[in-house]
Structure 1
Amino acid sequence: MDTFSPEIAPKIVAHRGNAPGFAENTAAAFENALAMPIHGVECDVRFSRDGVVMVQHDATVDRTSDGTGRLADLTAAQLRSLNVGTTSLPQRMMTLEELLEMVLAAGDRHLYLEIKSPALRNQRLEEEVVRCLTRHALQEDPRIHVISFSHSAMRRIARLAPRLDRWYLRRDRELDHNPGDLLFSRPRGLGLSIEAARRSPRLVDARGLPTYLWTVNDRAGMKFAESLGVDVLATDRPDVALELFFPEAPVLAKENAGEPGKL
């Protein structure tokens, strides 16, 4: 087996709480991931029609649930009536409040919280995200990192919670139109996709800020990330990353014999 130094290996983050056998962004997935000896988990948040911050990646619920429709058109109660898990392991859509409680209970685990919402609603969403964090005394906690593809979101979060960690995610197409990699906000970390990093490895550490690479799901990609000195690696296969980087670490993840989670 290849050997890696734990001192320089990337920090492992379970992307949407994912691991084989669990549906993304669900309580079962996050519970499984938070039981692993990894750095933390990543989630996505959007606004329900009645202004509740929900943990969901897509703008619609069609792919991730047994329902249909735009999340922004449904109330929190309607969203929580859907099954976002599997047939054998049904799950309700989580609120951000519920996930924060899980992360707090996990002790030293970190949360990478991605703002995902139509631009016109972002300001309200970001305000409510900060309120949720403040209710849990997490608005200055180093375990919480807000991540976003929006410089506007980064600036608003900086205004609402100046000491909250902020990481800007660069879209692949943005790099074509912004070859100088100019930043229009002042993030404290930068993200890049594995595909973009393979095309332009120099961008990984171009600004001297902490680096976040997504979504790295195989050993070759993980080795590549380690070779570039990536700080945080987001993956749907935290089990593979643990085996590669920390073969001596105890894997405490729960087994789920049900059908594979939706990807």
Structure 2
Amino acid sequence: MHIVAHRGYSGKYPELSPEAFEKALQLPIHGVECDVQLTRDGQLVVNHDETLDRTSDRSGTIAQMDWEEVRKAKLSNGENIMSFAELLELIKPSNQHLYVETKQTFNYNPELEEQVLLGLRHAGLIEDPRVHLISFSHRAIRKMAHIAPWMDRFYLRREFERIINRPDLLLSKPTGLGLSLLRGKLQPQAIGAHGLPTYMWTVDSPEDMKWAWSNGVDILATNQPEVALHAINY
């Protein structure tokens, strides 16, 4: 089972900060996960929320701000919020993988996946097998399959799909499927469904990590990567 540091080593350092990624990349784990948002002027920002309010000293909706405004935001450890390009520079010299979640809303923006691909091309990682797309959006999965068919693509199932999509029908062609720990426990048969690898989030206790490993989870996203290393005896 591969261990992925969710939002970097976010259990110990500010989420999605340079420090969180640097510390995670020092561990003997499979890789790291990040979220990306698009600024008004088309720059990719490493941030989970649509706004800067929760994690920085500034407020505002990223999609309504230019990168020059966003880059001034300070995280709780005093570091600047990261651009996607800066994160790729950290990843390049490592041998670890990167799982990129494009944060699409109901107002789907195809430019988000396009800019991810442009960023990867600029960094020389355009066809690097260490880069994976993950998304809750079937449209994002279809878009990336069209513009970068070689890229690994994980569709993340939303919780409500357990009710409204009981047959687990797919509206795109992902190369892997994700599910939460809660859904995995409620529907263990969804692990490995369609013969595809399973990405599970966000698993932080040793007991749950061992459960995921024993139930065939392929990729484990956790805020506590060191705990995971000890729990499954890496």
* 1:221 paired residue among 203, 208, 211: 208
C-alpha distance in 2 between matches for 1:21 and 1:145: 24
Any conservation in 2 of the 1:19–1:238 contact (CA below 8 Å)? no
Residues 116 and 40 (structure 1), Cα distance of their counterparts in 2 relative to 1, 3 Å cut: same
Pairwise CA distance, 1:75: 1.4
Match of 1:80 in 2: 71
Match of 1:198 in 2: 185
Q: Which 5+ residue runs of structure 2 have no aligned equivalent?
A: none
Superposition pairs of residues 3-152 of structure 1, within 5 angstroms: 10-84=1-75, 86=76, 89-106=77-94, 108-120=95-107, 122-152=109-139
Any conservation in 1 of the 2:17–2:79 contact (CA below 8 Å)? yes
C-alpha distance in 2 between matches for 1:76 and 1:152: 26
Equivalent position amino acid for 1:94 in 2: M
Question: For each residue in 1:40-86, what CA deviation from the matched residue of structure 2 results, as whole angstroms up to 9, or x when unmatched?
Answer: 000000101111000000011111111112111111111111112x2
Q: Which 5+ residue runs of structure 1 have no aligned equivalent?
A: 1-9, 248-263
C-alpha distance in 1 between matches for 2:46 and 2:16: 6
C-alpha distance in 1 between matches for 2:121 and 2:46: 18
The two structures have a TM-score, normalised by structure 2, of: 0.96
Equivalent position amino acid for 1:115 in 2: T
Q: Which has the larger radius of gyration?
A: 1
Match of 1:250 in 2: none
The two structures have a TM-score, normalised by structure 1, of: 0.86
Match of 1:236 in 2: 223
Equivalent position amino acid for 1:91 in 2: E
Alignment partner of 1:182 is 2:169: yes
Any conservation in 2 of the 1:212–1:232 contact (CA below 8 Å)? yes
Pairwise CA distance, 1:19: 4.0
Residues 203 and 121 (structure 1), Cα distance of their counterparts in 2 relative to 1, 3 Å cut: closer
Match of 2:198 in 1: 211
Pairwise CA distance, 1:119: 4.2
Any conservation in 1 of the 2:141–2:172 contact (CA below 8 Å)? yes
Residues 126 and 119 (structure 1), Cα distance of their counterparts in 2 relative to 1, 3 Å cut: farther
Equivalent position amino acid for 2:60 in 1: G
Number of residues of Structure 1 aligned to a counterpart in Structure 2 = 234
Pairwise CA distance, 1:121: 5.1
C-alpha distance in 2 between matches for 1:48 and 1:29: 22
Structural RMSD (CA): 1.2
